[in-house]
Amino acid sequence: MRPIKRMAFTFTALCVAGLAWMAAGTTPDRNGPQPPVRSASQTYTIPAKSIILPTSPESAPRPLAMPVAGVDPGSIHDNFDEMRGGDTRRHDALDILAPRGTNVVATDDGTVKKLFTSVAGGLTVYEFDPDERYCYYYAHLDAYAPGLHEGQVLRRGDLIGYVGTTGNAPKDTPHLHFAVTRLDPDKRWWTGTAINPYPLLYKAR
CB-hemisphere CA count at 13 Å for 128?
18
Q: What are phi and psi of 112, to 5 degrees?
A: -70, 110
Q: What is the C-alpha end-to-end distance of the chain, expressed in Å?
A: 33
Give the CATH number, domain containing residue 49.
2.70.70.10
Q: Determine the Cα–Cα distance for residues 198 and 87; give it in Å rounded to an integer.
A: 21
- What percent of the chain is modeled with pLDDT above 90? 49
Among candidate residues 91, 129, 89, 95, the one with its CA nearest the CA of residue 109: 129
Q: Determine the Cα–Cα distance for residues 41 and 128; give it in Å rounded to an integer.
A: 22
Say what the pLDDT of residue 61 is. 73
DSSP 46: P
Contact 99, 144 (CB under 8 A): no
- Domain span at residue 70 reads 3-203
Residue range 143-166, pLDDT digits in tens:
999 999 999 999 999 999 999 999
pTM, rounded to two decimals: 0.70
Residue range 161-180, pLDDT digits in tens:
999 999 999 999 999 999 99
Contact 123, 180 (CB under 8 A): no
Contact 115, 101 (CB under 8 A): no
Q: How many domains does the chain have?
A: 1
Residues in the chain with pLDDT values less than 50: 3-9, 16, 19-58, 205
- Amino acid identity of residue 10, one-letter, is T
| Biggest CA pair distance of the chain | 56
| Long-range contacts of 5-13, Cβ-Cβ distance < 8 Å, separation of 24 or more | 7/99, 10/99, 11/99
